[in-house]
Every structure is written in C-alpha cells, then in structure tokens.
C-alpha cells in the first residue's frame, strides 16, 4: 500500500473537518456551504474543499442544486423518525457491546467527557456542549470494538447533526431537570458490565431527542397555518 501524499492528507483533513462540523451542528438545515469561506477556514485552496463537498454529496450527506450551490438537506418529519429508529438499533447495540469490552481507561475518558458536557451546559456554551456530546458518543461506541458499526453510526449522525442545536434550550433544560447525570450512570453500567442498562440509557436519550425534533415539524406546521 502506498503512503499518503501531502495532497491526499490535506483532502482527508478537510473532508473530516467538514464532517465534524456537520455532526456537531455547526451548519443548519438548508444552509449553503461556501467554498471560499471553508477554504479560508482550513487555510487551503478551493480544490480540496470542492473535492470534500463532492464526496459528501456522493454519500448523500449534502445536496447540490441546479445553481451548483451546495446545501445541508432539510429533512422531513418521516425521515427524522426513520433515522431515530435506525439509530436506536445501531447505537443500542454499540452501547451494549461497549459494556462488554470497555477498559478502565475507556471509562475514565468517558467520565471526563461527561463532566465536560455538564460544564458546557452550566456555562451555556452550546458549541462546546454539542462538540463534547459527540466526543462522548464516539468514545463510547469505539469502546464496542466494532469499527464497521461505528462507521455506519457516524453516517447517520451526519444527517441528524444539523438539527441538534434545535434541542437548545428547551429539550436540554428538560433533560437537566429529569435525568441529569445519566452519562455518569452509563459509565457505571460499563464498569459493571451491564449491557442492558447501557443500551437502555443511550436509547432513552436518542428516542427522546429525535422524537422532540420530529415534533417540532408539527409545531412549525401549526405556526405556518395560524
């Protein structure tokens, strides 16, 4: 296998950077992605940005219009519910397997990230909150030692990520009131090798969050017809 060239490394870095921004909700549904702005941010020419965007279009993550502009897709309520159900299945499995395979070092990392999520919420830092939530889930699922499963999960996040900022502030406030600290409970479940508990905790979070997002479509329809 040939070694990666600086050019391929740069292309992959830009691609991964845009993916990360989508997963963390930096780009909103329907938002246009600007080549020059992204090139300036990554300190590269237009070519690697254009190639990264075309790759994401081919993967169905982004859409290209007749004007050739690239946008984040706007999902339907039915698609959000479909993604919810798929994520429940895949991420529940990943959490369960993580309980069987997580090391003490894995759990220590997860506890640190759980604390960073809580700190971001106390500070009202939405950007850091969404970033740390994503880091927590990546660390959790990688502990499953099922890399193919993790890749499929990340492809689903690319579709739901642009919507996660809509969880702020109302849904996040509810979570903090009703089940604050659930990530620490999940760490305890991993330590105790309780796969069923780990699955239940992650499935509850996914189900409540994506059901909340799906219901926003109904609220928007009522407002539009008022």
d(CA 44, CA 39): 5
Question: What pLDDT does residue 219 have?
Answer: 65
Task: Report the top-level CATH class of 77-224.
Answer: mainly alpha
- What confidence score (pLDDT) does residue 1 get? 47
CATH topology of domain 6-72: Arc Repressor Mutant, subunit A (1.10.10)
Q: Name every residue whose Cβ is closer than 8 Å to that of residue 192 and which is 6 or more positions away in sequence.
A: 99
| Separation of alpha carbons 161 and 56, rounded Å | 14
Percentage above 90 pLDDT, the chain: 89
Give the model confidence (pLDDT) of 10-39 as tens digits.
Answer: 999 999 999 999 999 999 999 999 999 999
pLDDT-derived band at 65 (thresholds 50, 70, 90) equals confident
Give the pLDDT confidence score for residue 203 in this predicted structure. Answer: 99
Nearest to 217 by CA among 22, 108, 116, 74: 74
99-127: pLDDT as tens digits: 999 999 999 999 999 999 999 999 999 99
Give the pLDDT of residue 8.
87
pLDDT at 2: 52
pLDDT, residue 223, reads: 43
Crossing angle of helices 195-224 and 170-178, rounded to 10° = 150
Sign of CA dihedral 149, 85, 99, 163: positive
Edge-to-edge strand order for the sheet containing 70-71? Answer: 32-33, 70-71, 63-64
Q: What is the pLDDT, as a whole number, of residue 128?
A: 97
206 in Cβ contact with 163 (< 8 Å):
no
| Domain extent listing, the chain | 6-72, 77-224
Q: What is the mean pLDDT of residues 78-84?
A: 97
Beta strands in the chain (DSSP E): 32-33, 63-64, 70-71
pLDDT of 221 > 60? The answer is no
Alpha-helical (H) ranges within 59-181 are 77-101, 104-123, 126-142, 147-160, 170-178
């Amino acid at each position: 296998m040939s070694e990666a060239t600086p050019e391929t490394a740069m292309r992959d870095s830009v691609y991964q950077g845009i993916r990360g921004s989508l997963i963390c909700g930096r780009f909103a549904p329907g938002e246009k992605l600007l080549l020059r702005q992204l090139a300036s941010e990554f300190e590269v020419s237009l070519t690697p940005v254009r190639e990264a965007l075309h790759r994401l279009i081919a993967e169905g993550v982004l859409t290209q219009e007749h004007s050739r502009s690239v946008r984040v897709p706007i999902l339907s309520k039915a698609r959000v519910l479909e993604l919810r159900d798929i994520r429940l299945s895949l991420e529940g499995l990943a959490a369960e397997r993580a309980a069987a395979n997580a090391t003490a070092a894995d759990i220590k990392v997860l506890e640190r990230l759980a604390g960073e999520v809580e700190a971001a919420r106390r500070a009202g830092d939405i950007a850091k909150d969404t970033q740390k939530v994503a880091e927590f889930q990546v660390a959790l699922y990688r502990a499953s030692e099922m890399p193919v499963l993790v890749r499929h999960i990340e492809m689903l996040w690319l579709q739901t990520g642009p919507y996660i900022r809509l969880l702020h502030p109302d849904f996040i406030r509810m979570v903090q009131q009703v089940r604050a600290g659930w990530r620490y409970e999940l760490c305890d479940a991993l330590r105790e090798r309780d796969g069923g508990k780990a699955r239940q905790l992650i499935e509850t979070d996914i189900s409540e969050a994506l059901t909340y997002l799906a219901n926003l479509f109904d609220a928007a329809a009522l407002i539009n017809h008022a």
